[in-house]
A and B are shown apart, each in its own frame.
Chain A
Amino acid sequence: MKKPDIIFRLSLRSVRLNLLRSVLAALGIVIGVVAIASIGMISANMTLSVAEELSATANVLVVKPDTGSGDSGFGRESESNDDEDDYLTNDQFNDIRKAAGSSYVYYLYSESDDIETGSTSGRATIYAMDDEAMKDILSLAEGSFPSTTSQVVVGPDFVERYDIEVGSKITIGDEDDEEGEVTVRVTGILEERGMSMDISSDNAIITAEKFFTGRYGGEDEYTQVNVVVDDINDIDAITESIDESLNRKDDEVQIQDSSRMLNTISSTLGTLTSFALAIAGISLLVAAVSIFNVMMMSVTERIREIGILRSIGTQKDEILRMFVYEAAIIGIVGAGIGAVLSLLIGYVVVFGMVGTTEYFFAWDSLANVPEGMIVGAVICVISGVYPAWRASNLDPIEALRAE
């Protein structure tokens, strides 16, 4: 078996001889690598998870009234804007349908209202849509779609939150309100749809169109129109076609697709990740100071040994290498342990924060581990360079005199 370089062996033995000190120094790197890799993995998993959920509705275009407020993003359904243009008319709906060709086009009403179920009260999003569209677009996990105005279906998260089941009654509104309160019965529970931009039904109540317009008014005044495109490749052409048809004179509508939403989410996540990584970076900075300190102690303790090594013919660069190796051993071992731990801790943290580990083993996620390792090891080596340089430039006569 080939023996390692004698200089490397000296470094290895020095680390072993001062094991506790070396382990404590490596611990800083372990923590730094775990922090960086875990944060990176959380971010990657969130992005992948959102991208996957949105890709399910990648073929959907959402058309909303242009209220002149620029990028409206998503989640506007709870907004109450008195602007007369904050809804789409039936004419506009028909224009969109014409422009969208063979695509499936449906309209959506949405409102936010107080609700009460048994002893729990809160506020919920209430959607309404054409009966046909409801059956085409939404899937039931159990029960049936509403057949009268006093019947509704609800999303699975809503069921969990308010602890209800098929047959439960929900009181919508407040008796002090203008609309008063009304009690409806749950006839069906929807299947989970996840995050989507067209309709967030998981945590909402979906009512019949007549119920909605009867209660909130605004018949043929739609909150948004969704276009389900047959072929995803046509999405740009259809967007353009709707834009030309409706926005020729004035900007009447905004057309959004999931890529735009994904970009917004990715960009927000990116900003948050950078901030978290900067904080994690501080732990690596502390580790670097700790390694520097350990290396300086090692040099000071071994001045005489350095003198001996120099006097019997060890070159400066070999002394330099010896101490850089020592820092590298601490760094690589620390980064290695950090990598293993970040896989374990990262898995738990990703599960806790993202809710799924489905994307944990995706390259975008796992790549954070070697990246964290490299950063940790490199920082360690850099911290060792000055002490090593100092050691190599000691005067051999002075060093031999040291006790």
Chain B
Amino acid sequence: MGSTPVIALENVRKIYPLPSGDVHALDGVSLAIEKGEFVAIMGSSGSGKSTLMNQIGCLDVPTEGTVRIEGQDIGQLSDYDLTALRRDSIGYIFQKFNLIPLLTAFENVEYPWLLRQRRYDDTGRVQHLLDQVGIDAALAAHRPSELSGGQQQRVAVARALVNEPAILLCDEPTGNLDSKTSTQIMEMLAALNHEGRTVIMVTHDAATAEYADRTILIQDGRIA
């Protein structure tokens, strides 16, 4: 018997009740992702891939079925525990970078660490991560608005890693970047996967999906 999958979905349905009729955003999705896998999720707009990402990312719970993240059934968790699971087990990388505009690059990376550790970083870990993604201390003192798109996404990668999450969840990570920077970011993600991290990535781009070990295609709320 193999090890427990880090992500396991069993017959997951997500139904949005609307006056015009229920929308089945996910319609019986079952999926298992093992630790250390690099999985690309592809699908057209409205196929249900964002809904699937929200389930895996613990931002939402299923209407039916179960979603287990590191063995925990997220449907049974309180908002507090779900939030803690997002903080501790999932590192998000968004298409629009989603850095906190009020904080510097350094503080953006430090923020999830503070939420978890309740103390400031005195180990040098934050700057070490920033160095790894190519952001030096001088650049790290800048606000996100003072950085280029590529630099912001690098900071976002460092932020996603700071709490050593089991899963890196990337939503169109290269969607707002030029091709050169896209390649750099994808190589960075591939390298992280080689180090043993589980990477789940939603993408439109077939070239980007080639970095993944496995591609899952979503169509009309089902795995095609």
Main secondary structure of the interface of A (DSSP, over half): helix
**CB distance B115 to A311 under 8 Å?**
no
Q: Mark A383-402, 1 if CB is under 8 A from B, else 0.
A: 00000000000001100100
Residues of chain B within 8 A of A304, CB atoms compared: 98
How many Cβ-Cβ contacts under 8 Å join chain A to chain B? Answer: 63
State whether B102 touches A312 (Cβ < 8 A).
no
In the complex the two chains form, what is the Cα distance from A106 to B60 in whole Å? 92
Of A14, A311, A397, A400, which contacts B102 at CB under 8 A? A14
Kindly identify which residue among A13, A307, A318, A397 contacts B103, using a CB–CB cutoff of 8 Å.
A13
Q: Are B79 and A313 in contact (CB under 8 A)?
A: no
Q: Taking the nearest CB of chain B, how far is it from the CB of A307, in angstroms?
A: 8
Contact A316 B100 (CB under 8 A): no
Could you tell me how many residues of chain A have their Cβ less than 8 Å away from some Cβ of chain B? 23
Say yes or no: B100 contacts A308, CB within 8 Å.
yes
Q: How far is the CA of A308 from the CA of B115 in the complex (A)?
A: 14
**Residue pair A397, B111 in contact (C-beta under 8 Å):** no
A316 to B92, Cβ gap below 8 A? no
Give the chain B neighbours of A396 by CB distance below 8 A. 59
Decide if B114 is an interface residue (CB 8 Å cutoff).
yes
Q: How far is the CB of A352 from chain B (nearest CB, A)?
A: 45
Q: How far is the CB of B53 from chain A (nearest CB, A)?
A: 10
Residues of chain A with a CB closer than 8 A to B110's CB: 6
- By secondary structure, the B interface counts as helix
Least CB distance, A272 to chain B, in whole angstroms: 48
Residue of A nearest to B159 (CB): A312
- Distance (whole angstroms) from the CB of A154 to the closest CB of chain B: 72
Cβ of A315: which chain B residues have Cβ within 8 Å of it?
Answer: 80, 83-84, 115
1/0 per residue, CB under 8 A from B, across A291-320: the answer is 000000000000011011111111110100
A10 at the interface (CB under 8 A from B): yes
Task: Give how many B residues have a beta carbon under 8 Å from the other chain's beta carbons.
Answer: 29
What is the CB-to-nearest-CB distance from B40 to chain A, in angstroms, rounded to a whole number? Answer: 21
User: A305 near B101 (CB under 8 angstroms)?
Assistant: yes
Instruction: Tell me if B63 counts as interface (CB < 8 A to partner A).
Output: no
Give the residues from 96 to 146 in chain B that come closer than 8 angstroms, CB to CB, to chain A.
98-103, 107, 110-112, 114-116, 120
Using A6-B111, A14-B102, A311-B57 as known contacts, say yes or no to A316 and B116 having CB atoms under 8 A apart.
no
Once bound together, how far apart are the Cα atoms of A202 and B57, in whole Å? 85
Q: Which of B79, B101, B112 contacts A316, CB < 8 Å? A: B79
The answer to whether A161 has its CB under 8 Å from any CB of chain B is: no
In chain B, what residue has the closest Cβ to A315? B83
A312 in complex: contacting residue of B54, B101, B111, CB < 8 Å? B111
Chain A contacts for B114, CB-based, 8 A: 6
* A315–B120 CA distance with the chains assembled, in angstroms: 18
> A3 at interface (Cβ–Cβ under 8 A)?
yes
Closest chain A residue to B169, Cβ basis: A311
Question: In the complex the two chains form, what is the Cα distance from A305 to B110 in whole Å?
Answer: 16
- Determine whether B64 belongs to the interface, using a CB cutoff of 8 Å to chain A: no
Q: How far is the CA of A9 from the CA of B108 in the complex (A)?
A: 12
5 more contacts with CB within 8 A, not counting A311-B98, A400-B94, A400-B98, are A17-B102, A305-B102, A312-B86, A314-B87, A315-B83
